[in-house]
Amino acid sequence: MSAAPLEIPSRLARPRGSILAVLGGGLIVLALAAPFLSLAHSAAQGSEILPHLLAYVLPQALRETALLLAGVAIVVLGVGTGTAWLVAAYDFPGRRLLEWALVLPLAVPTYIIAYAYLDLLHPIGPVQTGLRALFGIANPRDLPFPEVRSLPVCAALLGFVLYPYVYLPTRALFLMQGANVLEVARTLGAGPARVFFRVALPLARPAVAIGATLALLEALNDIGASEFLGVRTLTVSIYTTWVNRSDLPGASQIALAMLAVVGAFILLEGWARRHSRQTASARAPARRPLRGLAAAAAFAAGFLPVAIGFLAPAGHLVVESAKRIAFAGLSPRLLDETLNTVLLSGAATLLTVAIGLALAIGVRFNPSERARALLRMAGLGYAVPGTVLAVSLLAPLSALDAGLATLVELVTGLSMGTLVLGSSVALIYAYCVRFMAIAVGSSDAGLAKIPPNLDAASRVLGHGKLSTVWRIHLPLAAPAIASGALLVFVDCMKELPATLLLRPLNVETLATHLYGEAARGTYEDGAVAALIIVAVGMLPLILVSRLQTRR
């Protein structure tokens, strides 16, 4: 008998490669986590105005943030779950149109809807002007109209933009619920309302919790809408403390309070999903047909959120953009800002997707719990508001600049200024940390659909890991990777807080241009920039809508 081949060298080499992969992934995750470690260090430095912050700034910011989030939660939960049940459980004329149209408000960033409605609802805007003409009122002060710059209006507008975060997963889960469960409830005498509240909604609780958490995190990240509408949230307080008072430790301390709020949301979302059970069957629940007035009422109820969250602001932007272009044409500055936006977002997308794909591939070749933990840690930045991220980047980037300046001076004898902080590199770094979760998630999901036996067949044919990735993984996972890249690009383009605080001097993007015009009250000058952002933001929504409506 011939002796079996000795396999010790290959077995020894495998742990070594695994260790190197884990170390490489750990270094990447450390680079992504560095901003949050520096935030605590900066906050520990102490602030000269800390007594003022504790007495006047932080209590008001916490109170208004809590009230704003409570109002947003009421709107997104009511509208998101209601519309999801409407299109999943009932059949009426226009239902297919509503299925994808209800996603459209996500194309409108929160600061743009505030920008649009400030102009729409202004005393000399089209809404109040039309009402005065209808009732024969000449003086704008004689028309009783609610104050636009208020916390309730801000919460309502944010809610009508962010409810799709609840609508999308909840509708998908409603469609997954077994028809037998709902039919048994009806057989036992439960009416439509009781079936929804006692059976369908409890089963959909995990999706509702996830969607509501994402919506509230987005509301917490908002700076434009809150500031435009006069709401002093934690995000606005961080910005004013840093920019207006030049107090980085004080801004860091408020940012830590904001991170505590984020942590509470994540814990609350986990608590809401505890002991959750899902039911599914091969047969989807049958939709109840509606006719006549009931069908018209159902369509109107589903169309109203689309009208408030997308059609009204988008239509207003189209009209104002057309007026602006007809009057003065396209400004060369706007073209430069569009180019800046595309270049910054494109560079950040390439870097983010490359790192996310590398991490996901590393986990595929080394599917250990430690590697999976590193993959999850790499995506934590998505839960951190852009303002907090911008503040937390200052210390590590300053330290990096100091080290580079020392190195250059030792080698060349030349004195260098800042190379990273205040440059495009800092902003791209922030984008990468903030949206890494999207790139990691899409790459990991795409690779998970590739059967492991294809990797084994590739090794048998003599191909190494790089060849396997190039010939098998990338072609098969390309649709998922491309979808993630598109989402990262659009999110980078829409991101306002981090861009506002970290952009290089004299560099404007579409988002910062719009913010500046709204701050000055020159709404018509920012309409074209807002329309471009909304138009590009619709690209991933078209993709999501097509996937959602295939069922």
Using CA atoms, how far apart are residues 401 and 451, in angstroms rounded to an integer? Answer: 45
Residue 295's pLDDT band, with cuts at 50, 70 and 90, is very high
- Residue 331: what are its φ and ψ, rounded to 5°? -70, 135
Q: How many domains does the chain have?
A: 1
**CATH code at 214?**
1.10.3720.10
At 371, list the tokens.
């590697």
Residue 193's pLDDT band, with cuts at 50, 70 and 90, is low
Which residue matches tokens 């007594």?
Answer: 51
At 34, list the tokens.
């560095």
Using CA atoms, how far apart are residues 514 and 534, in angstroms rounded to an integer? Answer: 12
Q: What is the DSSP letter of 282?
A: S
To the question of pTM greater than 0.85 for the whole model, the response is no
Residue 11 lies in a domain: no
Residue 284's pLDDT band, with cuts at 50, 70 and 90, is low
Residue 287 has pLDDT above 70, yes or no: yes
At 462, list the tokens.
């003599």
Owning domain of residue 464? 21-548
Give the percent of the chain with pLDDT over 70. 81
Residue 344's pLDDT band, with cuts at 50, 70 and 90, is very high
Using CA atoms, how far apart are residues 309 and 311, in angstroms rounded to an integer? Answer: 7
Residue 5 lies in a domain: no
Rg over alpha carbons for the chain, rounded to the nearest Å, is: 26
Residue 540 lies in a domain: yes
Using CA atoms, how far apart are residues 528 and 534, in angstroms rounded to an integer? Answer: 10
Per DSSP, the three-state class of 65 is helix
Per DSSP, the three-state class of 289 is strand
| CB neighbour list of residue 224: distance below 8 Å, 6 or more residues apart | 109, 110, 111, 112, 114, 115, 496, 514, 515, 518
In the beta sheet, which residues pair with residue 288? Answer: 90
Residue whose C-alpha is closest to residue 201's, from 228, 172, 170: 170
Burial class (CB in 10 A: 0-12, 13-18, 19+), 175: middle
Residue whose C-alpha is closest to residue 436's, from 77, 31, 140: 31
Residue whose C-alpha is closest to residue 303's, from 535, 538, 82, 73: 82
Using CA atoms, how far apart are residues 176 and 378, in angstroms rounded to an integer? Answer: 30
Residue 482 has pLDDT above 80, yes or no: yes
Residue 33 lies in a domain: yes
In the beta sheet, which residues pair with residue 90? Answer: 288
Q: Is 431 left (phi over 0), alpha (psi -120 to 50) or beta?
A: alpha
533 touches 112 (CB < 8 A): yes
pLDDT tens digits for 388-446?
Answer: 778 777 777 777 777 887 887 787 777 666 677 777 888 898 898 888 888 888 888 88
Using CA atoms, how far apart are residues 264 and 305, in angstroms rounded to an integer? Answer: 29
323 touches 126 (CB < 8 A): no
Number of H helices, E strands in the chain: 27, 2
Residue 325 lies in a domain: yes
Give the percent of the chain with pLDDT over 90. 13
Using CA atoms, how far apart are residues 531 and 290, in angstroms rounded to an integer? Answer: 37
Residue 16 lies in a domain: no
Residue 15 lies in a domain: no
Higher-pLDDT residue of 218, 423: 218
Mean pLDDT, residues 367-381 taken together: 74
In the beta sheet, which residues pair with residue 91? Answer: 289
Residue 13 lies in a domain: no
235 touches 222 (CB < 8 A): yes
Q: What is the DSSP letter of 138?
A: -
In this structure, of 53-57, 270-274, 422-426, the range with the lowest mean pLDDT score is 270-274
Higher-pLDDT residue of 437, 69: 69
Taking the C-alpha atoms of 375, 378, 382 and 386 in order, what is their torsion angle to the nearest 10 degrees? 180
pLDDT tens digits for 128-172?
Answer: 888 888 888 888 787 888 888 899 999 999 999 999 989 988 887
Per DSSP, the three-state class of 91 is strand
